[in-house]
Amino acid sequence: MKKISLIIIFHFLCFNFFGQITFLICLDDSINSYFKLNERFTNIYDIDYLKDSLPDGIYIFYDVKRKNIKKGNIMIKGEYKNGVKEGLFEKNFFVGSGKKSIIKGQHLCTFKNGLKHGIDQEYNFGKGSKYQHTKNEFHLANNIQLNTYAEYQFGKLNGLFMYFSNGHPIRIYIYENDILKTKLLEIYAD
């Protein structure tokens, strides 16, 4: 009980300079309570499995226990407003752990009023790759390969949906209100 009280107090003391609460969540902070179970009833630390209703604030999930937070990596970062996801969310994929870990990929998507709204993209990063993003824009640099690209409006696929293999498109579809309308490209490996 004492540990839970200290964690709650710590969370409420983590304000950014705009007065928002920043929740720093580590593996030993009951991290599973922030995520929904997947189809196999296991936890997956992914943006799509974050619970739909959390207190307002910026959430930063680390891949380490709290005592090692300075050596940890940010797994997921995003903001809740009015109890739902809002704005840019990012998930990082790593190889290794601690300071020796290397970011190998990233999933970025935007939300509006708790629903995916805008671009949803996933990348693989190659050796020496560079990457930058601003609030709602994504800028690619060298040696980054796009895995998926999707356009959402109010939680529904609406526009392009593309799969890539080794940086080349292998499937390109057009959706309207979550319904597949057109298959522009489908390439299957032998």
DSSP for 23-39 reads EEE-TTTTGGGGB-B-T
The CB density around residue 188, as the number of other CB atoms within 10 Å, is: 6
Predicted confidence at residue 67, as pLDDT, reads 93
Predicted confidence at residue 167, as pLDDT, reads 81
Predicted confidence at residue 100, as pLDDT, reads 73
Cα separation, 8 vs 20, in Å, equals: 15
In the chain, helix, strand, coil percent, each to 5?
Answer: 15, 55, 30
Q: Structural domain of residue 118, as residue ranges? A: 2-186
DSSP 8-state class, residue 99: G
Cα separation, 11 vs 49, in Å, equals: 22
Please report which residue ranges of the chain form alpha helices under DSSP H: 2-13
Predicted confidence at residue 159, as pLDDT, reads 97
Residues of the chain with pLDDT under 70: 1-19, 40-43, 97-99, 127-142, 189-190
Predicted confidence at residue 10, as pLDDT, reads 45
Predicted confidence at residue 3, as pLDDT, reads 46
Predicted confidence at residue 91, as pLDDT, reads 94
Predicted confidence at residue 183, as pLDDT, reads 97
- Nearest of 182, 124, 126, 123 to residue 157 by alpha carbon: 182
Predicted confidence at residue 152, as pLDDT, reads 98
Structural domain tally of the chain? Answer: 1
Predicted confidence at residue 190, as pLDDT, reads 55
